[in-house]
Amino acid sequence: MRRSAVVTDTSISRMPNPAEFVPELNDISAALFRATGNRSVPRTTMSLVHLRAGQIVGNTYLTILNTGFLRKAGVSEERITAVSSWQDASYFSDAERAALALVEATLQPAPQGKERVSDELYAEVAKHYDEKALATLTIAIGQISFFIALAVIGKPQPVSSLADQQWD
């Protein structure tokens, strides 16, 4: 009978902090946070969208981080828990539902022969968000998409605050 060796890894992430090698990453990150922090979309909505994105791609780092943001903002545990099943949960406003539908459409494969973001979905989102807010929401979805690559490839330590140690 062959025994497998137990590997003890004290590493908290798969890779070191990428900003150590590409310092421009800090500038990109700061610019994205400035662009989405213009208050045209409630911060809570942004965190709900980012949490849903983390759930869609199955990334613990993103789900824990955005759950932490929502808790710090005073969002109820019921609302946080219901993000994964928002379609039939009564905890979300129509505007939040539109934003969650938009992130899902953006990150999930389109049905055969259909657009990811249909004209109908766009019109529904536009009913709830003015032009600046819609642009901001779009950038926020791009922002989380940018960080998805870092999170799934680099596998930073799950943290509930950006001030916590994430990378080796």
Tens-digit pLDDT profile for residues 83-104: 999 999 999 999 999 999 999 9
Q: What is the CATH number of the domain that holds 65?
A: 1.20.1290.10
Number of neighbouring beta carbons within 10 Å of residue 88 = 6
Task: Please say whether the beta carbons of 56 and 108 come within 8 A.
Answer: yes
Provide the pLDDT for residue 10.
58
Range of the domain at 142: 42-154
In a domain, 10, yes or no: no
In a domain, 26, yes or no: no
Provide the pLDDT for residue 165.
84
Task: Please say whether the beta carbons of 96 and 45 come within 8 A.
Answer: yes
In a domain, 160, yes or no: no
Residues of the chain with pLDDT under 50: 1-8
Provide the pLDDT for residue 5.
46
pTM attached to this predicted model: 0.89
